[in-house]
Structure 1
Amino acid sequence: AQVEDNDLQHQQNGVLMYGCSRVTVARNNTSFNSGWGIYLAGSSDNLIEDNTSDFCNRVFRRENGMERVEADTAGLAMVHGCSRNKILRNRFRCCGDGIFIVGYEHPGVINGCDDNLIEDNDCSFCPNNAIESTFCKGNIFRRNICSGSNYGFWMGFSWDNLVEDNTIADNRIAGVALEHGHHVRFINNRFLRNREGMRLWTRGISVLEYWPTFQVAHDFDVENNVFDDNGIGFNGYTGPEPVEGICYGYHVSGNMFRNNRHGARFARVRDSSIARNQFENNARSAILFEGEPDVEVGENSFSGNTADVLRV
């Protein structure tokens, strides 16, 4: 089936797909909806390409009375086991989330949205996350623009993902935030002017009761990225909340850290390494170690930093 060249604006939702497969959704305009531009539930092996789904958003009042422009709206949402879809060359700008993907249904039900290709999309200027993808494995995020949001990527409890060649700039909190994940590779991305470029950490949230093997974050490869003009370029740590063990296997290599406040920070991690990186003109430190983390420092290049390796 094909859903092509339609104007589906100014409603609650643009395209809703339940239990669909081998459907092409192309060149539609699903902007200015108050819910979702394009929504997939239990739908796999579909092609979503060249659509415009901007400004899918609404004002939401939280229980504490605070009003937010979000309300779980999204340009594209995938839930309840949407796998092997191709999401190509779309515009999901100024939505609650640009793209929202979740593989968990409380309490304790795993129904992953796995092995999807998300490539060449613009997900910028979202009040929450440019891309949120949680509790899912095997997804590839390549050449997307994830800028001007609270978070460029929010990827809690993700594993076996690839994040490659994305532009992640001007995010208010972090370019990438990945809690309690493992085996994720970050290659050839550009982290520019974020408060934190990348945060890989734990915070001991209640869902660990149902995901006990995700107590700590581990086994990340951070390779050949550019971290420029962030508050902290790379931030890897075990949080203060009680978890069983500490994070491990953070391997940071071949990156450029330039003009950050701190280039790379580590705290309460083990069996990790930082090698073959360039550190230039970082204002406070190139590498910051807090509390004697177990991190092997290989051969790195340092120039113009206030401190090359700072231990506190």
Structure 2
Amino acid sequence: MIPALCFSQSYLPLQDNWEIPSDTSIKIVAGNYSFSDSSKDGVIQITGKQNITIDGDSVSVSGMDMSGYMIHITNSSNITLRNFDLISGYYYAFYIKNSDNITIKNCNLSWNKVDSTGWIVIFDGAAEALGGGVFMNSCSNSVIDSNTMQYQNDGVALYNSNNITVQNNNLSWNTSYGIRMYETDSSTIYKNDCSHINRITDPSDCAAILLLNCSYNNVDYNDFTYSGDGIFLNDYETYKVSGNSFTYNDCSYSPHNAIEAVFSEGNIFKNNIASNSNYGLWLGYSFNTIVDSNEIHNNSGIDADGGGGIAIDRGYNNSITNNSIRNNSNGIKIWEKGSPISPYTNTSYDYQIENNVFSGNKYAIHINTTDLFTIKNNDFTYNWTGIHLEGTITNDTITDCTFDNT
């Protein structure tokens, strides 16, 4: 291994197997470098260190064979990586594990490991991570800000982490996820471009953002358009409170679901755009969910269930309020479909549908075999059918609604 030459020296050329000591600030000499990392321990290695800044202004590094990592960090804290012109050709540009207070800013980490076909197994953990820009596992209190990570599998992959801020990044045109979150909690996802996340294989479970078994995250003001799904949240068999908040995101133009949140509890979707997709919001088996003040327009899919604005199979205690729901095949569809998915035994019940505007839908509200719902103070205008009820319907209330040309 080659140690840093001198702590007091600010400008150093990039070198292979470079171990960086604590309390170091390095500006790498500008240039184009090529280093493979077949040993997968990093061209730059930071292990058990603190208080390091590495500036890669005017530095481009190619890994050549899509393996290994340009920077490998473990068991370290207070590390800043900034200003790299381009890091490409690695499995992940930056690999970070068991570390905290990491800052990654103004770097271009693009053209790393990429696959454009095949089904993605969303339940795979960190050991099966797909490759891309930044990988973090068991990290906390870190910031990923104003970077570009495109044309690879993942933009940012967060596993088993907490209190991570991902903001102002361009994570578009990847083939798996703009942001992949696995058991990552209490984080902030803000003003990122995660648009155009797609694969040749369709469907493939790719999405602009995936949250698997994640809780108490704030996801706000992001561009999630033109992707396999916009938002994809799944808590299958975890039985945990999700408690995530999604506000002011544009999730439109998905061939599948602008927003998909399944088997999940306590999520909030407010002031989002979920339009021009097969479904605006698909919320199967979800409960204690708030859907408020969203724009849900022009969702008219051709699947067996008919597509539509909001679709919930076997959910309960959900609130749907103050939304603009226009020109969908089904504005809201609530039902029990076949036998429940094991191990769940959910039935469909307890909905508050209030103060929404329904216009131009084939069915504004379509409810099948659901109990204890309240439909109140909604405005129905120019729908083919206002409210369509079928199956076993009990203990329900429809009151104070306005129907015009419906």
Where on the TM-score scale, by shorter chain, does this alignment land: which range? 0.7 to 0.9
1:37 touches 1:74 (CA, 8 Å); kept in 2?
yes
Once the two structures are superposed, what CA deviation does each residue of 1:132-167 show, in whole Å capped at 9, x if it has no partner?
A: 001111110000000000000000001101000000
Once the two structures are superposed, what CA deviation does each residue of 1:279-306 show, in whole Å capped at 9, x if it has no partner?
A: 0001xxxxxxxxxxxxxxxxxxxxxxxx
Once the two structures are superposed, what CA deviation does each residue of 1:102-135 show, in whole Å capped at 9, x if it has no partner?
A: 000xxxx325461001000000000000000011
1:90 to 216, 219, 222: 222
Check if 1:198 corresponds to 2:332: yes
Q: Distance in 2 between matches of 1:128 and 1:112?
A: 26
Residue in 2 aligned with 1:287?
none
> Structure 1: which amino acid aligns with 2:359?
D
Q: Distance in 2 between matches of 1:59 and 1:263?
A: 39
1:1-312 equivalences under 5 Å are 1-60=142-201, 68=202, 70-79=203-212, 81-104=213-236, 109-112=237-240, 114-172=242-300, 173-207=307-341, 209-212=342-345, 214=346, 216-238=347-369, 247-268=370-391, 269-282=393-406
Residue in 2 aligned with 1:294?
none
> Structure 2: which amino acid aligns with 1:276?
D
* Gapped regions of structure 1 (runs ≥ 5): 61-67, 239-246, 283-312
- CA separation of 1:113/1:72 partners in 2, compared to 1, >3 Å: closer, same or farther? farther
Q: Which secondary structure state, in structure 1, belongs to the residue aligned with residue 154 of structure 2?
A: coil
| Per-residue deviation, 1:204 | 2.2
| Per-residue deviation, 1:206 | 4.9
Paired residues in the alignment total 258
Q: Distance in 1 between matches of 2:339 and 2:378?
A: 31
Q: Distance in 2 between matches of 1:203 and 1:179?
A: 6
Residue in 1 aligned with 2:84?
none
- CA separation of 1:222/1:206 partners in 2, compared to 1, >3 Å: closer, same or farther? closer
Q: Distance in 1 between matches of 2:385 and 2:232?
A: 30
Q: Distance in 2 between matches of 1:113 and 1:17?
A: 19
Q: CA RMSD in A?
A: 1.0
| TM-score normalized with structure 1 length | 0.81
| TM-score normalized with structure 2 length | 0.63
Q: Distance in 1 between matches of 2:390 and 2:351?
A: 15
Runs of 4+ in 1 over 6 A off after TM superposition: none
Q: Which secondary structure state, in structure 2, belongs to the residue aligned with residue 23 of structure 1?
A: strand
Q: Which secondary structure state, in structure 1, belongs to the residue aligned with residue 331 of structure 2?
A: strand
Q: Distance in 1 between matches of 2:238 and 2:334?
A: 22
Residue in 2 aligned with 1:297?
none
Q: Which secondary structure state, in structure 2, belongs to the residue aligned with residue 53 of structure 1?
A: coil
Residue in 1 aligned with 2:102?
none
Percent identity over the alignment is 33
| Per-residue deviation, 1:205 | 3.7
Q: Which secondary structure state, in structure 2, belongs to the residue aligned with residue 159 of structure 1?
A: coil
Q: Distance in 2 between matches of 1:234 and 1:186?
A: 12
- CA separation of 1:31/1:205 partners in 2, compared to 1, >3 Å: closer, same or farther? farther
1:73 touches 1:97 (CA, 8 Å); kept in 2?
yes
| Per-residue deviation, 1:20 | 1.1
The higher relative CO (CA closer than 8 Å, separation ≥ 6) is in 1
| Structure of higher CA gyration radius | 2
Q: Distance in 1 between matches of 2:277 and 2:241?
A: 23
Q: Which secondary structure state, in structure 2, belongs to the residue aligned with residue 83 of structure 1?
A: coil
Q: Distance in 1 between matches of 2:168 and 2:322?
A: 29
- CA separation of 1:38/1:113 partners in 2, compared to 1, >3 Å: closer, same or farther? farther
> Structure 2: which amino acid aligns with 1:280?
D
